[in-house]
Structure 1
Amino acid sequence: MAPSRTRVFQKWLEHLEFEGKTQYVRELEMWLKSFERYFHISNLPLSEEETRHSTLRDYSEELRVVGDVIFRISQICTLLLSEERVSYSSFTKYVENSLRHDYFTDAYIRRLLRQQRPSRNMTLLMEALLDSRTIILEVARLSKTSYMCFVSTGRVINREIRKGVFFDYFLDKKYEVFFDRIHSAHVLRIVRSIQVPRYKRSLAAIFLSLFRTLRYLNYIGMQMQDANALKRSLLIFSLVNAELKWLIEYLEEEYLNKEHADAHFVELIEGLAYSLSMELKKVMQRELLGTAGLQQYELIFSKIQNSQGILMNSVQQIVVAIVQYFDPRLDGHNIFPDYVTRLDQSLRLREDIYDLREAGRQLRKNADLTETSSLVKRIEKFKTGSMKYLMYKDWFEFDNFYHEVLACKTTGNLNFTLHRFDTFLTTLIKEVNKRTILQTHPFTKNT
């Protein structure tokens, strides 16, 4: 009797684990899932205005990013199929030459389709994606890539992926157990302590989703080699956006739209769901806008790194908040070694706003236009640092002041702008001081 497909897949995973290639399998799972999310407009970093006119905009830059992700997937497939590790540079030569070989024939493809094995599926995927990449790079050279062309490209790619039956294990939610585990002993203990089966399953699903999202976000830190590698992260953000939206809907359906015995836990979940939705807006409707079209590495790096930090902080805070509800003795460092508490964030934010205000006051006192660049650099440092801890509603006004300071050409204009900026920052300090977490940490400096 032939072994079941699931058993074949498990044995393949065990073989790759023995070869030390598990990290490539997990990365492949992430990229394949990201293709299913990226071609949906709701998962792209677009402003509300851009979303309303999504069928009219140009998608050339978004398509170029897809081409580079295909290149990375092909490299992963080669690493999984080959005994040798292929460097990025040598693989470039392989890709350029491979389509000229006569073994890329219809008979060869038919044989791969008939012989359903994980390795065969991967070979077939690599051939299909490399062909797609060639077309994508040609289309991206046109003056405009339409909405229909962008969406249709996504459909073609995802149909090709689904031709490999073993890729169901990468894409279908019921098989996520192959790739995700809850590794924190504290979290596992809390899940096991829940006595009601329904709530135990629910809590396990929530934690699995959160830890899976953190795994995806960690991969962003591995895409830092150059501007193109950084832009690949846009597909990861699309995947994370879809995963977290699903989690918010799940929390609402499971706890807010149904009767629950623990009203305090429901209140906690409601707050966490709202906070998460606002953090997603910060990233997808603000921070990542225009990243696909940027060329300068430093600008792309700043946007990607800041967005990663916002979402990682948010997801970690949710894990810790739920854990502490069941065991108040635990803190974030018991689960995440690099954990930064909301108190730490608020203290840093308050201090940085104060320092920024003092720098503005010093510039007003000196009334020297040549010193404006120093303040601009301070503002830019704040934007890439503590600004992510501000309420989302304050981002737009802060950005407006930044551009106003940049545009000042006379001492009178600068003085007027800095006076208004000072008032705005003073208000921000007072608002931050109102945070419950700071009530036992009064600000000793003059506000």
Structure 2
Amino acid sequence: MIQKKEPKDWIAVSKETHRELFSELDVLLRAVDRFFIIENLPSAKETLSESNFFDELSAVRDLILRTLSILEVIIPESKKNSYWFQKFAETKFLTDRNRDIFREELYKQDTPEKAVFLLYDSFVNLKGLVTDLLKSGDITYLSYMNIGQILSKEIRENNYFNPFKKDINPEFDIIENQEISDIVKNIRDKDTKKYISLILIYLLRLLRYLKHIDITTQRTISLNTSLIILMLNRSEISMFKNYTEKIIPKITQPDLKMLIQSLSYQFSMETKRVYLQELKEILKKKAPRYFRGRIENSHGILKNLAEQSIVQIAQFYKPGLTGEDIFISFIAKTEQSLRLREDILVLHKFLTLLTEKSNKQEERVRIFGPLRNFMMYFESFTFRLLRYEDYEEFVSFFKEVLSFKKEQVVAGEVNRLREKIHNFRIFLETTLRHIANRTEVRDKPIDMDRIDKTINQYLSG
């Protein structure tokens, strides 16, 4: 059989063919480095010396496996076969001197090909090391940090695939959208153009990272990899906020200064929701549905935040522009507020129905099942629209109600929730008043027919 001859510069060809995979590789290398910074982790480690980092290192192992799967796609089959043959020959046939020559040639990294094989070689070795370490079941802080230092060294010493080599990577950190690009080009003041360009690049970079999060799967490798990418965003958002705080005093336009301050504040509040609420202690929650739900909510919050911020900046310079002109699947702020208001009204009406019918067993059972289904929908799709200040109240109430089983409802145990339901309904009414004060919904009437139809759909389902 005649083997297909690979082109001399196969890396360049591979980059053209697998552009998205090279982008993901860049994200994963950044993410795994940041995951060894304790402040970026989702779990509170109050006493580091006594903490077990088994869950964190398990997540790292899964990211290593994902990285290797990417490298095995972008490296041609014939080159991979050659690598494994050399590895075999190195251990079985080469003299010490020939082994030195082989290693020296690889470590030169005078071509991208050698650099990618060095990265592949390092991750193959790390996979074996981490897998063996995890067999103990107990990973100390020192062991975890030692693995992190090895990984960081391998990544940062790579001549061609070190993602930290440049603050702005011209290969990925570019403004591709023509509308946004034109806005930046037309900014006359040199300093303002620089500030807005960098803010937009930061925001677009966040969206690029989020693009590599898989919110459709329950596979552990994908979920853990997605979590580590979210932790990378925590680090990036911190840098973004530091940059905005640095430039705000230098901006001379009062309305532009106010806009950047507003965006910085929004990021402060929304990132608290993601990292102090949604992802808090997530590695201790092993159920795939719970894990995936938190990842999906966090992804939705951050994606919406970055897109809304970009649109607000664009509309500052071009008021007639809409979110749909920039992002295909953009959901406008008005639409989000209307959806939140409608879903809360449906929830409020459901709870009122349950309270009114709670003394009749048949009616109680008939209402509780659909209510539970709606609450699960609300938890999956509407939680991400809540304010930071309201989130904990919703989580606490939902946790208690959703823990009830059908037998308990039949037995009438749900009646002991009467007071909590009453108090939560009052809380929902307060939340609705806050939403009603939002500028984007102030003149928008409530469609009660639509709300009734939603309730009837759940009741008849």
Give the alignment partner of residue 15 of structure 1, picking from 13, 16, 19.
Answer: 13
Give the alignment partner of residue 388 of structure 1, picking from 379, 384, 401.
Answer: 384
* Structure 2 counterparts to residues 90-109 of structure 1, below 5 A: 101-103=88-90, 107=100, 108-109=102-103
Query: Shift in Å at residue 444 of structure 1?
Result: 6.0
Whether the aligned pair in 1 keeps the contact of 2:11 and 2:112 (CA below 8 Å) is no
Query: Shift in Å at residue 353 of structure 1?
Result: 0.4
Is 2:428 the partner of 1:430? no
Whether the aligned pair in 1 keeps the contact of 2:297 and 2:380 (CA below 8 Å) is yes
Counterpart CA distance in 2 for 1:98 and 1:233 is 33
The aligned residue for residue 312 of structure 2 is 321
The aligned residue for residue 281 of structure 1 is 272
Aligned length: 423
Using the size of structure 1 for normalisation, the TM-score is: 0.87
Is 2:22 the partner of 1:25? yes
Whether the aligned pair in 2 keeps the contact of 1:376 and 1:402 (CA below 8 Å) is no
Whether the aligned pair in 1 keeps the contact of 2:337 and 2:435 (CA below 8 Å) is yes
Query: Shift in Å at residue 124 of structure 1?
Result: 1.3
Counterpart CA distance in 2 for 1:13 and 1:174 is 23
* Structure 2 counterparts to residues 373-384 of structure 1, below 5 A: 373-384=369-380
* Structure 2 counterparts to residues 8-407 of structure 1, below 5 A: 14-18=12-16, 20-46=17-43, 50-53=44-47, 56-83=50-77, 101-103=88-90, 107=100, 108-168=102-162, 170-221=163-214, 224=217, 226-255=219-248, 258-367=249-358, 368=361, 370=365, 371-406=367-402
Task: Label 1:411 to 1:33 Cα distance change in 2 as closer, same or farther (>3 A).
Answer: closer
Counterpart CA distance in 2 for 1:60 and 1:242 is 22
Counterpart CA distance in 2 for 1:407 and 1:179 is 45
Task: Label 1:221 to 1:404 Cα distance change in 2 as closer, same or farther (>3 A).
Answer: closer
Task: Label 1:261 to 1:363 Cα distance change in 2 as closer, same or farther (>3 A).
Answer: same
Counterpart CA distance in 1 for 2:216 and 2:131 is 21
Task: Label 1:226 to 1:413 Cα distance change in 2 as closer, same or farther (>3 A).
Answer: same
Structure (1 or 2) with the larger CA radius of gyration: 2
Using the size of structure 2 for normalisation, the TM-score is: 0.84
223-232 or 151-160, which moves further after superposition? 223-232
Task: Label 1:291 to 1:101 Cα distance change in 2 as closer, same or farther (>3 A).
Answer: farther
Query: In angstroms, what is the RMSD of aligned CA positions?
Result: 2.8
Query: Shift in Å at residue 144 of structure 1?
Result: 2.2
Q: Deviations over 1:405-436 (max 9, x none)?
A: 34676254122222112111111111111112
5+ residue gaps in structure 1?
A: 1-10
Whether the aligned pair in 1 keeps the contact of 2:180 and 2:314 (CA below 8 Å) is yes
Task: Label 1:192 to 1:132 Cα distance change in 2 as closer, same or farther (>3 A).
Answer: same
Counterpart CA distance in 1 for 2:281 and 2:149 is 24
Counterpart CA distance in 2 for 1:252 and 1:395 is 27
Give the alignment partner of residue 419 of structure 2, picking from 408, 416, 421.
Answer: 416
Query: Shift in Å at residue 362 of structure 1?
Result: 1.1
| SS at 1:440 equivalent | coil
One-letter code of the match for 1:394? D
**How high is the sequence identity, in percent, across the aligned residues?**
26
